[in-house]
Amino acid sequence: MVFRLRYYKDPCLREKCQPVKIINQEVKAFAKELIDTMIAYNGVGLAAPQVGSNQRIFIGALADDEEGEALVTAPKVYINPKITFYSKETVVMEEGCMSYPGLYLEIRRPAFIDIEAYDEDGKFFRLENVGGWFSRNLQHEYDHLDGVLTIDYLGQSKRKNVQAHLDQIDRKYNCPSSVITQPSEVNKYFT
Ligand SMILES: [Zn+2]
């Protein structure tokens, strides 16, 4: 099943998600549907709040090739993730978000992280010193679980500049007559 995506201004994008208590078949099935939705919309990452769920679950599907270019990889499930280390070194990279299609923003974030989480079978894993697009993808999705969006990182004037685009998204996707959108309508996004 493919979930309906939630867009900018939908209150569920601003909720702090709750930890998953037990990783059971239901959770596993939800993670699978989250992956199906991400693929249907050409995304390379998707977090539970983006489909209206407040569970601490996201999908990551981006890595780096040998030249440091973004590389789409097999989707990986992160349940109850914790970023346990952020490097002091930071880097600016361009991010998109499936919750406001078409808006790409340069965001500064730590260059490297350590992250731990559980997979859809309840198996614990830990990734250390993750950099590049891989790291960027995970940090972006992780933010979603705390109700944080890339637009929150913008200074006042930049934030003002993107408001018209955001209002357009709101009008297009959140008005009652257009809540059901077709994947084909949506451009290719980054996350
Ligand atoms: Zn996003």
Could you read off the pLDDT of 111-140 as tens digits, one per residue? Answer: 999 999 999 999 999 999 999 999 999 999
Asked about 66 being catalytic, the answer comes back as no
Q: What is the mean pLDDT of the chain?
A: 93
Quick one: which of 78, 96, 119, 69 has its CA closest to 8?
A: 96
Please write the tens of the pLDDT for every residue from 96-109: 999 999 999 999 99
Q: What is the pTM of this model?
A: 0.91
For strands 105-110 and 57-64, give the pairing.
unpaired
Residue 25 or 178, more confident: 25
Dist CA 183 CA 130 (whole Å) = 31
Tell me the domains of the chain and their CATH numbers: 11-175 (3.90.45.10)
Residue 20 Cα to ligand 1 midpoint, Å, equals 20
Residue 100 Cα to ligand 1 midpoint, Å, equals 8
Residue 67 Cα to ligand 1 midpoint, Å, equals 25
Residue 171 φ/ψ, nearest 5 degrees: -65, -40
Dist CA 140 CA 107 (whole Å) = 10
- SS3 label, residue 175: coil
Quick one: which of 77, 37, 45, 46 has its CA closest to 61?
A: 45
